[in-house]
Structure 1
Amino acid sequence: MDKYEKLEKVGEGTYGKVYKAMEKASGKLVALKKTRLEMDEEGIPPTALREISLLQMLSHSLYVVRLLCVEHVLQSTDSISPSPAVSPSPKSNLYLVFEYLDTDLKKFIDSHRKGQNPRPLDPSLIQRFMFQLCKGVAHCHSHGVLHRDLKPQNLLLDKDKGILKIADLGLGRAFTVPLKSYTHEIVTLWYRAPEVLLGSTHYSTGVDIWSVGCIFAEMVRRQALFPGDSEFQQLLHIFRLLGTPTEHQWPGVTSLRDWHVYPKWEPQNLARSVPSLSPEGVDLLSQMLKYDPAERISAKSALDHPYFDSLDKSQF
């Protein structure tokens, strides 16, 4: 790790610390993600290696944060090693070296909501960010990878170029997602699909599409669409707006593990929650927030939705 000069800690991700650093040789800024790995007898666990090679492949998309390289740092154990029978497993850190981007969509939305100059996000900017987000998600899904934790904090922005990139991708399986991050902030539920909240163990690409819909609405509203602070409250937020789901609408919903009998709410008019959004935008949003995951629009189909008709797609 002598190649890098750590400049500051920029966060504690779900899997470990994240540093802003400079590559000494080139002067280029990078983000270093330090992940603790439990080594097994053969070294790095194969699950982790698979995840990393997947990340490297996915990051060839412009809309996924680029993984530049991986550095494996083995911490030296005592020089006088005990008998092999009781040798401690070596401590090992894996540093994932990513391109560095200085802001994320959450900070960007916050800057439009608070501060000296609160103002809505430009509708054409929302459209551009949405197109890039759907492109990035479609790219992941086409390689069989679910993100499972899409939220504005995980969408990094290159403000000068107007590019949005998906971050924190794909480590979910090898490093098992903890429910709390290291800083003990509760992992947010605001973007979590109802099938996950209801304890479904079989879920698919629809979980990411639901999150994309929530992010879409949040860019328009400048505040979260479903800001629940527990799984139960999260479901109630969703049911109050979209109506309590029925077996007719979503076959199998009442057999999900955490289903209870909920108050029966009627669906509200979605357009009222996003008053400044065009009718085409409201239509796309409603197709992302369908209860039955099988009915949600795919990321690839979303790219052809009329909401994007006025966009010059050749630039992407």
Structure 2
Amino acid sequence: MQSTKSAMEAFEKLEKVGEGAYGKVYKARDRATGQIIALKKTKLHEDEEGVPSTTLREISILRMLSYDPHIVKLMDVKQGVNKKGNTVLYLVFEYMETDVKKFIRSYRQNGDNIPPQIVKSLMYQLCKGVAFVHAHGVLHRDLKPHNLLMDPKTLRLKIADLGLARAFTVPMKKYTHEILTLWYRAPEVLLGATHYSTAVDMWSVGCIFAELVTNTAIFAGDSEIQQLLYIFRLLGTPNEEIWPGVSELKDWHEFPQWKPSLISTAVPNLDENGLKLLWNMLQCDPSKRISAKKAMEHPYFDDLDKTYL
């Protein structure tokens, strides 16, 4: 890691493109090469060693994962000190022109739907990226359209913001609730499960799938309880028969008893194979949810040219 002086001199900040829980993100130019990059500035809470082990773990995970074409590439890490004397890390990522949230919004504003083959291509790339992350023992835990970066010309999709990723090969810690954006949050997380698996990401993938097809979030709750009610109203209220152990979860209540509706009522313009895949992703019981690897083999993708994906 290099000192901050070189970090600040090495890059010319062009504009702030985002601000996350972990710091600011800038579009910047590498003065040496002229290359446009994304600079993620992360302030650190000091501990004895300077850089916290959690941050070092995040960086090593990112380095490990970023050789996959569907993960945003971490190109460099620079360390420095800000005016207050706090340690600052600059993570240097490849720059991507847009994200899936903006992509969906551009179609919605024009009153158009994203063409089905584009939805299919984006979904395949997403499943492929998620399968890669999961195969390396990592959960993303915060998949949402905003975290899926895109090149609008080539329609290449890359997963970003693995900042919350935790290797689930380490002993299962009790995860905190406040992780995923509410709309993409799996029911087991909403119900207070403390031990969960790759299935949490697949729920998010299903929600993103529905949103790509309809331009609107399938479950847009503004509280945890409302989020659950929206999910149960469409998919049916789970019980011990459907989802063994559900009533033991910390935040389980007696919910209104809904029968499942056809998923096509919420996503009317999706073909039959697409609806079957979506149904497999949006299973309330996490053990019944399709894996990313299995999803890639689904008949929905049969007519997709996967040569360059």
| 2:121 paired residue among 119, 122, 128 | 128
Is the partner of 1:215 in helix, strand or coil? helix
Structure 1 position 249 matched with structure 2 position 256: no
Per-residue CA shift, 1:5-59, capped at 9, x if unaligned? 0011111112011111110111111111111112322221222212201101101
Question: TM-score w.r.t. structure 2 length?
Answer: 0.92
Matched, 1:66 2:59: no
Cα shift at 1:188: 3.1
How far did residue 75 of structure 1 move? 3.8
Per the alignment, residue 302 of structure 1 pairs with: 295
Matching residue within 91, 99, 102 for 1:96:
91
Match of 2:54 among 27, 33, 47: 47
C-alpha displacement at 1:171, in angstroms?
A: 3.6
AA partner of residue 34 (structure 2): G
Deviations 1:206-244 (A, max 9, x none): 000000000000010110000000000000000000010
Whether the aligned pair in 2 keeps the contact of 1:250 and 1:292 (CA below 8 Å) is yes
- How far off is 1:173 after superposition? 5.0
What's the counterpart of residue 181 of structure 2?
188
- Deviations 1:150-207, CA, capped at 9 Å, x for gaps: 0000001111221011110144559x98959xxxxxx730000000000000000000
Is 1:283 paired with 2:247?
A: no
The one-letter amino acid paired with 1:274 is V
C-alpha distance in 1, partners of 2:178/2:123? 28
Give the superposition deviation at 1:277.
Answer: 0.7
2:27 pairs, out of 13, 20, 34, with 20
Moved over 3 A (4+): 170-174, 176-180
Contact 2:177 2:190 in 1 (8 A): no
* Identity score, percent: 59
Could you say what secondary structure the match of 2:93 adopts?
A: strand
Aligned residue type for 1:95: Y
**Cα distance 1:178–1:251, how it changes in 2: closer, same or farther (>3 A)?**
closer
In structure 2, distance between residues paired with 1:169 and 1:303: 21
| 2:155 is the counterpart of 1:162 | yes
Aligned to 2:3: none
Check conservation: 1:240, 1:265, Cα contact below 8 A: yes
CA contact (8 A) 1:146 1:170 kept: no
Q: Is the 8 A contact 1:145 1:170 kept in 2?
A: no
Alignment of 1:167-316 (within 5 A): 167-173=160-166, 179=178, 188-316=181-309
**Bigger radius of gyration:** 1
User: Aligned partners of 2:274 and 2:284: how far apart in 1?
Assistant: 18
- Do the aligned partners of residues 55 and 177 (structure 1) sit closer, same or farther apart at CA in structure 2, a change above 3 Å counting? farther
- Equivalent residue letter for 2:111: P
Could you say if the C-alpha distance between residues 213 and 242 of structure 1 is closer, same or farther in structure 2, counting changes exceeding 3 Å?
Answer: same
Who is 1:110 aligned against?
105
Residue identity opposite 1:62 in structure 2 = P
When the two chains are superposed, the root-mean-square deviation of aligned CA atoms in Å is 1.8
The one-letter code sitting in structure 2 at the alignment partner of 1:143 is H
Q: TM-score, normalised by structure 1?
A: 0.90
> 1:274 offset after TM fit, Å?
1.2
Cα distance between partner residues in 2 of 1:313 and 1:264? 42
